[in-house]
Amino acid sequence: MKEVFLHMSNLSEKELSALGDLLSYEELLVKKYNNLAQNTQDQEIKSKFQGIAQKHQEHFNKLYSQL
């Protein structure tokens, strides 16, 4: 019985579900922006997209740390 409580999370079901959706989308955005960067000739936009991909990875990490 005690064990059950020890394993109870501070997260609600809704929060867990939301984190799942957000992790999934942030993961996609990292790939998307890296892809956009790869296919862009303009150096300024290319490095901008690379920077944004990095930011989305950071968002992913922050969300992941909430699990």
Closest to other proteins by CB, 1 vs 39, is: 39
Decide whether 5 or 15 has the Cβ nearer to other proteins: 15
Task: Locate the DSSP E strands across 1-67.
Answer: none
Looking at beta carbons only, is 6 or 65 nearer to other proteins? 65
60 φ/ψ angles, rounded to the nearest 5 degrees: -55, -50
Query: What is the three-class DSSP state of 66?
Result: coil
* Cβ 59 to other proteins shortest distance, Å: 5
- Closest separation in Å from C-beta 20 to other proteins: 10
